[in-house]
């Protein structure tokens, strides 16, 4: 009975929401928003695999013809899906060569076995690296390393492991919040820069961005870190000691040819993604997604120390994380539905009609709207939609839009709940979706409150925050 109720919760909620929203919204917009509710409920109650839920946008669009179907289908093998596939192909060789064990033991030697140390290091590294690299790349780099380490310490089933939850959440959430630390950390930031330059009439420099957002990022990082450290965990430390793992690492001996190839290509893909500005003029189409795929494809041709291919298609076909790619794509597809049906435009008009007071109410609205948009689409889509709405509202109230735009872009990079966009990657590696939704809901509310209060205070007491 419980399973049947969970299964029916999605379609029933979809129908009820569509009925209740029609009138306030156009029918197509109401159906698109109802689709988001259906997916959220199935991700929470899991009557079917979370990867099955990922295909609901296709089913809903085929039934109701909300937008051109190719706009939905194309999201399931988008550029980011290519990046995830390429990264997966490289990392599959870690298991076949034993590199995963070597990296796991090395990580345990360096970080230590304390859970607090593990959470801190993974969260710090994910946040810091995502300041410079795309969030998806960072999550794709760290998740397989962390999962390999957890497997090595005895956590064989990541989906049921309570120990894995804070570590994988630290990677997923850190990869997200670090994005607004620099203009290149997220494509959403470039949307904000474009609007800021139009408003001010001059170039918005890298330094200008950092001095405004770094204090906000540090405070959000600290609050998020405290939240992660206080999550329930069954153990205080992972099995073993640093000395034990050091002796084990020595027992592995020198790296074999297959291990070296797997490690070198992974590092090369990461570095080429980071150094793309150096060769973008000569290879304009060679974006990080295609760098990872190109180097991943090489695994089918390169040979290990025994003369065997590093990767065979039979192994790749049965071990590649196709579900993770579909899960990530579902967020992009859902975003297409809610944007192209006009649901978000209608929602923004409702917000504009609230006649909010200047200061804290407008800042709170801007941050909440941006965060909500990031949860059901991507931070880029969120920025593209939220910033014009905020500019329109501030213009109608004769307010300086700049501090509200800065608050909006910070909130757009702080989404924690649904397995959409970067947050789908840890779940693809086994993190419980319901755990992420449960803990993410609390942290999302806390973070939005913090951003709202910080940006309102900076607007009032830090002139730099309101001037460019």
Contact status, residue 221 vs residue 177, Cβ threshold 8 Å: yes
Distances (CA, A) of 319 to 156, 266, 312: 16, 18, 11
Whole-number pLDDT of residue 203: 67
Binned average pLDDT, 10 residues per bin, the chain of 468 residues: 86 94 91 90 84 92 95 86 86 84 80 88 88 76 86 87 94 89 71 77 72 90 96 86 77 90 89 82 87 93 93 91 81 82 80 77 90 78 77 80 89 87 87 91 95 92 77
Chain centre to alpha carbon of residue 88: 17
What is the DSSP secondary structure assignment for residue 48, as one 8-state letter? S
Residue 164 has which token pair? 């894995």
| Residues paired with 309 in a beta bridge | 303
SS3 412: helix
Chain-centroid distance, C-alpha 327: 12
The Cα–Cα gap between 407 and 204 comes to 16
Nearest C-alpha neighbor of 92 from the set 245, 311, 289: 311
Tokens of 384: 């593209």
- State the DSSP H helix or E strand holding residue 430, giving kind and residue range, or none if neither: none
Dihedrals phi, psi of 78, to nearest 5 degrees: -80, -175
In angstroms, rounded to a whole number, what is the distance separating the alpha carbons of residues 67 and 65?
Answer: 6
Task: Tell me the sheet residues that pair with 114.
Answer: 237
| pLDDT at 468 (0 to 100) | 59
Segment 341-393, tens digit of pLDDT: 988 778 777 776 777 777 889 899 889 988 888 887 777 777 777 887 788 78
Q: Which residues of 319-392 form beta strands (DSSP E)?
A: none
CA–CA separation, 90 and 200 (whole Å): 45
- pLDDT value for 323: 82
pLDDT score at 198: 78
Q: Where are the domains of the chain?
A: 77-186+207-322
d(CA 346, CA 215): 34
Burial classification of residue 3, based on how many CB atoms lie within 10 Å of its CB (0-12 exposed, 13-18 middle, 19 or more buried): exposed
Q: Which residues pair with 25 in a beta bridge?
A: 22
pLDDT value of position 270 = 78
> Which phi and psi (to 5°) does residue 60 adopt?
-60, -45
Coil, strand, or helix at residue 23?
coil
Q: Residue 330 and residue 155: Cα distance in Å, rounded?
A: 28
End-to-end CA gap in the chain: 59
Q: Which residues contact 426 (CB under 8 A, 6 or more apart)?
A: 139, 143, 168, 169, 171, 172, 436
> Looking at residue 184, what is its pLDDT?
62
pLDDT tens by residue, 189-232: 777 777 787 777 776 666 777 888 889 999 999 999 999 999 99
pTM for the full predicted model? 0.75
Give me the pLDDT at residue 43, please: 82
Bridge-partner residues for 22, per DSSP? 25
């Amino acid at each position: 009975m419980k399973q049947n109720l969970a299964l029916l919760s999605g379609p029933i909620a979809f129908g009820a929401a569509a009925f209740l929203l029609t009138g306030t919204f156009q029918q197509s917009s109401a159906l698109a928003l109802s689709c988001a509710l259906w997916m959220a409920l199935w991700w929470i109650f899991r009557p079917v695999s979370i990867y099955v839920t990922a295909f609901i946008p296709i089913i809903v669009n085929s039934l109701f013809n909300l937008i051109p179907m190719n706009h939905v289908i194309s999201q399931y093998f988008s550029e980011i899906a290519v990046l995830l596939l390429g990264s997966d192909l490289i990392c599959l060789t870690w298991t076949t060569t034993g590199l995963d064990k070597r990296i796991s033991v090395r990580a345990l030697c360096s970080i230590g076995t304390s859970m607090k140390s593990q959470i801190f290091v993974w969260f710090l590294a994910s946040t810091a690296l995502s300041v410079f690299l795309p969030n998806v790349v960072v999550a794709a780099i760290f998740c397989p390393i962390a999962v390999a380490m957890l497997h090595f310490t005895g956590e064989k089933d990541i989906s049921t492991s309570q120990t894995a939850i804070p570590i994988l959440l630290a990677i997923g959430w850190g990869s997200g919040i670090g994005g607004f630390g620099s203009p290149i950390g997220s494509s959403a930031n470039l949307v904000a820069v474009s609007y800021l330059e139009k408003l001010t009439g001059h170039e918005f420099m890298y330094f200008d961005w950092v001095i405004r957002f770094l204090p906000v990022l540090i405070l959000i990082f600290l609050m998020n870190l405290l939240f992660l450290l206080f999550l329930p965990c069954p153990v205080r430390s992972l099995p073993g000691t640093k000395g034990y793992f050091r002796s084990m690492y020595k027992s592995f001996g020198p790296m074999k040819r297959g291990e070296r190839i797997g490690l070198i290509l992974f590092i090369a893909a990461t570095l080429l993604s980071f150094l793309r500005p150096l060769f973008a003029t000569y290879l304009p189409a060679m974006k990080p997604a295609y760098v990872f795929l190109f180097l991943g494809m090489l695994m089918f041709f390169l040979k290990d120390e025994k003369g065997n291919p590093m990767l065979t298609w039979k192994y790749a076909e049965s071990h590649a994380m196709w579900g993770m790619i579909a899960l990530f794509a579902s967020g992009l597809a859902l975003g297409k539905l809610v944007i192209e049906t006009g649901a978000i435009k209608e929602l923004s008009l409702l917000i504009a009609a609230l006649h909010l007071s200047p200061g804290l109410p407008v800042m709170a609205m801007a941050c909440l709207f941006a965060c909500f948009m990031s949860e059901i689409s991507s931070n880029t889509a969120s920025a593209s939609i939220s910033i014009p709405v905020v500019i329109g509202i501030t213009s109608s109230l004769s307010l300086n839009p700049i501090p509200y735009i800065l608050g909006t872009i910070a909130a757009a990079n702080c989404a924690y709940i649904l397995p959409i966009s970067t947050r789908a990657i840890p779940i693809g590696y086994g993190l419980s979706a319901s755990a992420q939704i449960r803990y993410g809901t609390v942290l999302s509310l806390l973070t939005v409150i913090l951003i709202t209060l910080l940006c309102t205070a900076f607007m009032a007491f830090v002139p730099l925050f309101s001037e460019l």
